[in-house]
Amino acid sequence: MHQAHVVAFMKQAPTFTAFKVTRELARHLGVSFNDPVAYRGADRLIQRERKAGNIGPSDPSRGRSAYWKWRGAK
């Protein structure tokens, strides 16, 4: 349930960072944004969506970036 809310957030945001995903997940879990659970959960969500091809760097010319962009189906 919490993952679905965070994925919806990623779909709506034009670009986002891992910090924003962590903050959004922490808000839904009811923990602090610097809680290890929120940090690991956000990392796993980003990894899962990246491997599925739904997100990528906001600048396609760069392989790695701090900013991500939703590329999957809206």
Query: How many C-beta neighbours within 10 Å does residue 30 have?
Result: 9
pLDDT bin (cut points 50, 70, 90) of residue 73 is confident
Whether 8 shows a pLDDT value over 80: the answer reads: yes
Second CATH level (architecture) for the domain 2-70: Orthogonal Bundle (1.10)
Element (H or E) spanning 16, and its range? Answer: strand 16-17
Query: What local confidence, expressed as pLDDT, does residue 1 receive?
Result: 63
How much is the average pLDDT of 13-40? 91
